[in-house]
Amino acid sequence: VLTFFLCVSVGNTGPAAFWSLYYILSDARALKAINEELECHLPNFDLDLANGQEIMVDDSICEALSQCVNLDSAVNETLR
């Protein structure tokens, strides 16, 4: 049963991420609002500078993501 839920969750993550990005990128106002929100609440870090090192997600990043209302709404609307 656990294997089934793991396979289903992985199988649904890809399409959900694709459609979320599709709808966000197709609406200029939504993209602008989400970009402004992310720039305001999330710390800046360059993925190129990570050089294969693991990026740690700590409580401050989780708290910042919880403040991104527009991003949360876009993802929830896609999943609906």
How many residues are given for the chain? 80
Is pLDDT at 70 greater than 60 in this prediction? yes
Positive/negative CA dihedral, 48, 50, 51, 52: negative
Is pLDDT at 55 greater than 80 in this prediction? no
What is residue 33's predicted lDDT score, i.e. its pLDDT?
Answer: 92
**Contact assessment for residue 78 and residue 23, using Cβ atoms and an 8 Å cutoff:** yes
Nearest to 41 by CA among 62, 22, 57, 18: 62
**What value does the mean pLDDT take over residues 9-31?**
85
